[in-house]
C-alpha cells in the first residue's frame, strides 16, 4: 500500500536525534496541503513513537512505518 502512495515532500532526518525529527516534521507537514503525504527518513530510535504520537495528537494519518535495519521510513498524510 505505501509503495503506491504518492509522496508530496521528503524530509531527511537521518543523523538527527530527539527532538529535532519531531520539530522538523511539524514544520514540514504544515508546509504541505491537506491530503498530501510527507515522507520522513530517520534513524532516531525514538522517532517512530514520537512521530506516531504527534500525528495522532495533531489529527494526521500514519500511512505506513517501515524499519530497514534501524532506518525508518514514515509516511504521514496531513488531514487537518
The tens digit of pLDDT for each residue in 11-66 reads 999 999 999 999 999 999 999 999 999 999 999 999 999 999 999 999 999 999 99
- Active-site positions? 18
Q: Using pLDDT thresholds of 50, 70 and 90, give the confidence band for residue 1.
A: very low
| Total domain count, the chain | 1
Q: Using pLDDT thresholds of 50, 70 and 90, give the confidence band for residue 5.
A: confident
pTM of the predicted protein model: 0.93
**71, 14 Cβ separation under 8 angstroms:** yes
Domain carrying residue 60: 2-77
* DSSP state letters, the chain: -GGGSPPSEEEE-TT--TTHHHHHHHHHHHTS-TT-EEEEEE--TTHHHHHHHHHHHHT-EEEEEEEETTEEEEEEE---
C-alpha grid cell, residue 57? 495528537
CATH code of the domain covering residue 44: 3.30.110.40
Please check the confidence at residue 3 and state whether its pLDDT lies above 60: no
What is the distance of C-alpha 74 from the center of its chain? Answer: 4
Please check the confidence at residue 2 and state whether its pLDDT lies above 80: no
Amino acid at each position: 500500500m505505501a509503495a503506491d502512495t504518492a509522496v508530496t515532500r521528503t524530509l531527511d532526518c537521518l543523523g538527527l536525534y530527539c527532538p529535532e525529527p519531531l520539530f522538523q516534521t511539524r514544520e514540514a507537514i504544515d508546509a504541505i496541503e491537506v491530503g498530501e503525504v510527507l515522507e520522513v527518513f530517520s534513524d532516531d530510535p525514538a522517532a517512530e513513537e514520537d512521530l506516531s504520537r504527534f500525528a495522532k495528537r495533531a489529527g494526521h494519518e500514519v500511512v505506513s512505518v517501515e524499519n530497514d535495519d534501524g532506518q525508518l521510513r514514515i509516511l504521514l498524510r496531513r488531514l487537518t
